[in-house]
Amino acid sequence: MLVLLRKLKMKIIPVVRRLLGKPVLKLNKTKISRIVREYGDTWSYYVEPIGQGEPFKAGQFIHLMAPGGEVSHKFVRHMSVASLPTETELLFSMDLSSGTPYKTLFKKAKVGTEVLYFALAGSFTLEGVAPGSHIVFIAGGIGITPMRCLIRDIESNKRDIRWELFHVGREYLYKDDFQIYSDRYRQLGRDGVEAMLDEAASRGGQTWYFISGSHSFVEDLSAGLQKRGIAEERIKLEDFSH
C-alpha cells in the first residue's frame, strides 16, 4: 500500500507542478565529493550540499538519481540521508550488488561526478517522541542508514532521549561511528533476533521502537514485538523494499 502511494506521489507531483506553472521537478544538482568502499559491494557516497544545505529532518530520505540517468523508475531510488542536515556533506550508503542499471551507474561514478536529487520526504523521524523517552533502534543490514542520522541528531543536539541500537546483519556498516557507544550498540546475526526481541520488549514505559530494513525484516520484527505485547503505535517502520 505504502509503495503504491509512493509511486502515485511520483506521478502526481509533476502534474501539480506543471499546473502551477513550475518546472516539472525541482532537481537539486550536486557533486560527489568522496567515495568510500565500506565492505563487499557496499559503498558510501558523500555529496556536496547546495548553499546552506537542503532543509530536512533527521531520518528522512531523498529521491536520488543515478549519475547520468533520467527521471524514471529505472534511475531514481529512495535513499536515506545518513548525515545530519547541518553537516558539510550529505552521506548516502548503498549496496551495489544487485547490478541493476541504477547501481551500475553508481559503480561507474567518480569524485566530481554530478548527481541530481529531489523531494526530501519521510516520517521515520523523531517527531512525536517526547523528551524523556527511550528508543530501541533495530536495523536490518543496510537499514542502518537513517539510524546513523537519527542517533547523530540525538547526540549532537543533546536531546533528552535515551537510545540503544541493535544491528542485525553479517557486516556492520558504520561500526566505527558507533564503537564509542559500546554500552548501547550491539551487533548480532539472524540467530540472535528472538533473544534480542525478548530483551527489547522488556524495556517498558516510554519506549519507542524504530525498525528499518527490507520489507520482510521490518514486518517480521514488528510482528515479533507485538507478539511480546508492544503496541503497534509505539513502533515506527522504514520499509526499504519497493
Ligand X SMILES: Cc1cc2nc3c(=O)[nH]c(=O)nc-3n(C[C@H](O)[C@H](O)[C@H](O)COP(=O)(O)OP(=O)(O)OC[C@H]3O[C@@H](n4cnc5c(N)ncnc54)[C@H](O)[C@@H]3O)c2cc1C
161 lies in the binding site for ligand X (CB under 6 A): no
Task: Please give the C-alpha separations between residue 125 and each of 129, 146, 154, in angstroms, as whole numbers.
Answer: 9, 9, 11
Cβ closest to ligand X, residue 78 vs residue 134: 78
In the window 2-31, what residues touch ligand X (CB under 6 A)?
none
Cβ closest to ligand X, residue 128 vs residue 132: 128
Q: How many residues bind ligand X (CB under 6 A)?
A: 18
For residue 194, give the C-alpha cell: 528472538
**Interacting span for ligand X (CB under 6 A) from 49-57, 89-97, 168-176, 229-237:** 89-97
Residue in 86, 98, 104, 157 binding ligand X, rule: CB under 6 A: 98
Cβ closest to ligand X, residue 102 vs residue 137: 102
CB 141 to ligand X: min, Å: 9
Residue in 95, 171, 199, 220 binding ligand X, rule: CB under 6 A: 95
Binding string, residues 31-70; x marks residues near ligand X by CB under 6 A? ------------------------------x---------
CB 220 to ligand X: min, Å: 17
Taking the CA of residue 28 as centre, how many other CA atoms within 13 Å lie in the half-sphere pointing to its CB? 20
78 lies in the binding site for ligand X (CB under 6 A): yes
Residue in 58, 142, 151, 237 binding ligand X, rule: CB under 6 A: 142
Q: Which residues of the chain form contacts with ligand X (CB under 6 A)?
A: 61, 77-80, 93-95, 98, 100, 102-103, 122, 142, 145, 238, 240, 242
